[in-house]
Amino acid sequence: MTRPLFREDAYLREAPARVLAHTPEGGLVLDSCLFYATGGGQPGDSGTLSWSGGETAIATTLKGEGDTLVCVPAEPGPLPAVGAEVMQQLDWARRHRHMRVHTALHLLSVVIPLPVSGGAIAADKGRLDFDMPEAPADKEALSEALNALAARDLEVSESWITDDELRANPGLVKTMSVMPPMGSGRVRLVRIGQGAEQIDLQPCGGTHVRRTGEIGRLRLGKIEKKGAQNRRVYVHIE
């Protein structure tokens, strides 16, 4: 299996690893991975792998077989041998923007407290699809509420519950179409705010900033109709 370093410390920018395997498609499986693997609407991380005598750019990272993660080189070329020690260097600027956007989408699900039917994250914006037959009456008020939450500089933390505890508390899941990953025995919860200041708690495997103040100023983008029951809402970071 691959140890997901990004889940232990989303701010880690460099880490050593050992090559466990090459995939038939030319990817690399490492024993520990700094790069977030595509999932939950968040793109896989990019960066650089270097080793004695070589270096390759990593274009993205994907989930592999079982509990492995696969680093995908940007171009075909020489790869480190199985068993080789490598150094991972994260494209931190891109990752950090993903972290800001992802956390902003959690805030969006607070100011629009409706079931979520989909979502996606990019380096400059994100979007959530809501079960929302009618468009919001006051878009400006939503934008003000969103920025007010970010400006409160609330702590973003995590905890873990068992699969059975999640099944007993289905209200924690805001997404209609995608259930959080289960089967390993435990599920990660992301909490925004503590105690009386808690505003959000939901299962999530992505990377987030430590405090909402780190998100910066947000701009509510267009709201698109996606079917009779759905509206797609965009949020941009500035």
Q: What is the CATH number of the domain that holds 30?
A: 2.40.30.130
**Residue-wise pLDDT tens digits, 12-25:** 999 999 999 999 99
Mark whether 63 and 173 lie in a shared domain.
Answer: no
pLDDT value of residue 181: 60
Query: Distance between CA 198 and CA 107 in Å, rounded?
Result: 12
State which of 90, 105, 127 marks the end of a domain. Answer: 90
Looking up tokens 């498609």, which residue turns up? 25
Flag whether pLDDT at 201 surpasses 80. Answer: yes
Rounded average pLDDT over 135-163? 92
| Residue in the block written with tokens 């919860």 | 189
Average pLDDT over residues 182-187: 67
pTM assigned to the model? 0.92
For the chain, give the mean pLDDT.
92
Predicted local confidence at residue 224, as pLDDT: 93
Alpha-carbon torsion, ordered 228, 138, 110, 227, to 10 deg: 10
Mean pLDDT of 42-58: 97
pLDDT of residue 2: 96
72 and 114, same domain (yes or no): no
Q: Answer yes or no: do 32 and 62 share one domain.
A: yes
| Number of structural domains in the chain | 2
Do 71 and 114 have their domain in common? no
pLDDT band for 29, please (50, 70, 90 cuts): very high
The contacts of residue 176 (CB under 8 Å, 6+ apart) are 115, 116, 117, 131
Looking at 90, 112, 147, which one is the last position of a domain? Answer: 90
3-state helix, strand, coil in the chain (%, to 5): 20, 40, 40
On whether both 129 and 81 belong to a single domain, the answer is no
Q: Are 59 and 9 contained in the same domain?
A: yes
State residue 222's pLDDT score: 92
Is residue 137 pLDDT above 90, yes or no? no
> Could you tell me if 137 and 226 lie in one domain?
yes
Residues of the domain holding 50: 3-90
pLDDT at 188: 85
Q: Is there a single domain that holds both residue 180 and residue 231?
A: yes
Q: Which CATH number covers residue 135? A: 3.30.980.10
Q: Is 122 in the same domain as 191?
A: yes
Mean pLDDT of 40-57: 96
pLDDT tops 80 at residue 100: yes
Share above pLDDT 70 across residues of the chain, in percent, rounded to a whole number: 96
Domain check: are 158 and 217 in the same one? Answer: yes
**Percentage of the chain surpassing pLDDT 90?**
79
Q: How confident is the model at residue 187 (pLDDT cuts 50, 70, 90)?
A: confident
- Contact 144/151 with Cβ under 8 angstroms? no
Last residue of a domain, one of 90, 107, 123: 90
Same domain assignment for residues 230 and 155: yes
Q: pLDDT tens, 166-184?
A: 777 777 777 755 555 655 6
Do 79 and 139 belong to one domain? no
